[in-house]
Amino acid sequence: MENRRKSFLEQVTNQIRSNEAKKYVSDELTHHVKEAKKVWLNKGFSDEEAEQNAIEQMGSPVILGMKLNKIHRPRIDWMLIMLMGVILLVGFLPLFTPGYWNNTNFLTRKAVFIILGMTVTLGLMVVDYRKFMKMGWLFYGLGTGLLLSLCFFSNATINGISVIIIGPLTLESLFALPFFLAAWASFFNQNTFKVWHFVLLFLLSLLVFIQIPSLSTTYLYFAMVMCMLWWSKFSTRQKAVVSGITVSSLILTGILTWHYQSYYIKERIIGFLQPEKVAEGSGYQVLHIHELMTKAKWFGGSKRIQEFIPEAHTNLVFVNITYHFGWIAAIIIVLILSLVIARMIMVTQQVRDSFGKLLIIGGISLYLSQVGSNIGMALGFFPLTSMSLPFISYGLMPILLNSILLGIVLSVYRRKNFIYCYK
């Protein structure tokens, strides 16, 4: 009896090319055979006869296998890969502006970063994201451990932010975000996860983030968790109450602790709110950026090539591109970045797995927050922070972060049509 079922499953799975899909198809068919067998047993057939009838009603194993192979073959989102490739190529554009075009070191390192980014993205696409579904505590521990390491074992600071420099690698709090993304997707996907669990874990992690301190990374983390919360299995009322209390508490805490905030954070906020009053200090850069964006033309120009732009290849890369290559180039970049966001949103509509959908929602929130904040800084809608423009700003960690995000989306998309095991 078992041999008959085993033979049937082997004939079906032999028609399926993907080794990854074979297991899920086998588990699904086993479930259906057992359910059909129960029906035949209730009709008075013997155990062996019921098994045989259940298998026969499935039809030809070869034809069935060929049909399932078409349905469950892994998918590749070529559109998202193509968009990523275009953005990575656009990322070279800032290095062809004054101060960078004669620096082959920048170009070489940027090329290496891009190769590493593409490798990470394609590597994650092949990895089955569902293996991490029950590893929430592990990823939460890894993310927290990384932040604590930055708190206690930091050997350098950049703009007042603790980092660990290991040879050519600069480890920063930004790299903890993918671990927390996987952790919260796992937590929110569980029916047993309670509101008090969320409040406790979120506050603990938020306190550690604040200790670094990195205003931009903390903001990204906050935005990611709040977005994922609304896709969790909590009730709508619970989501609304928790979100309201969390945001209100954060604002109140910021007001009450303003006197104790670091000089770096205060300077940036005051410069953003009242740049004219502190034009000789923190407001100078804000006013300078406004002037550069005002002078920018539709197609750029060569008469202003000596104009100095601070952080022109990192945080203010959008200002740099707009000033030197014009508003047309800036609009094209915004359009490409927006197409990536639109594509990720489209993928969420096609995904049935709640864990995969949570991962993509978290990835969208991180990506969108970076794009909106960086461009917002250039247009004067957002305070100046250490916020990169995905794939365009120079730096290994920002490229790796966004490569991981797109790799996760591709991994979920690749398996969106797979059959899920019955528990």
Report which secondary-structure segment, H or E, holds 162: strand 161-166
Q: What is the pTM of this model?
A: 0.84
> Which letter, b or e, does each residue of 319-336 get, where b requires 16 or more Cβ atoms within 10 Å of its Cβ?
bbbbbbbbbebbeebeeb
User: pLDDT value at position 230?
Assistant: 92
Contacts for 164 with CB less than 8 Å, ≥ 6 apart: 149, 150, 153, 154, 155, 156, 170, 171, 172
Cα–Cα distance, 210 to 229 (Å, whole number): 21
d(CA 247, CA 273): 21
**Cβ–Cβ under 8 Å, residues 320 and 309:** yes
pLDDT (0 to 100) of residue 423: 37
Residue (of 18, 46, 91, 4) closest to 399 by Cα position: 91
What band does 422 get if pLDDT is binned at 50, 70 and 90? very low
The phi, psi pair for 157, rounded to 5°, reads -135, 140
238-287: pLDDT as tens digits: 889 988 888 887 788 767 666 666 666 666 677 666 666 666 666 778 88
Percent of the chain at pLDDT above 70? 87
C-beta separation of 160 from 116 below 8 A? no
- Whether 358 and 185 have beta carbons less than 8 Å apart is answered as yes
Q: What is the pLDDT of residues 78-127, one digit of tens each?
A: 999 999 999 999 988 888 877 666 677 888 888 999 999 999 999 999 89
Looking at the DSSP bridge assignments, the partners of residue 161 are 158
Q: How many whole angstroms separate alpha carbon 106 and alpha carbon 99? A: 11
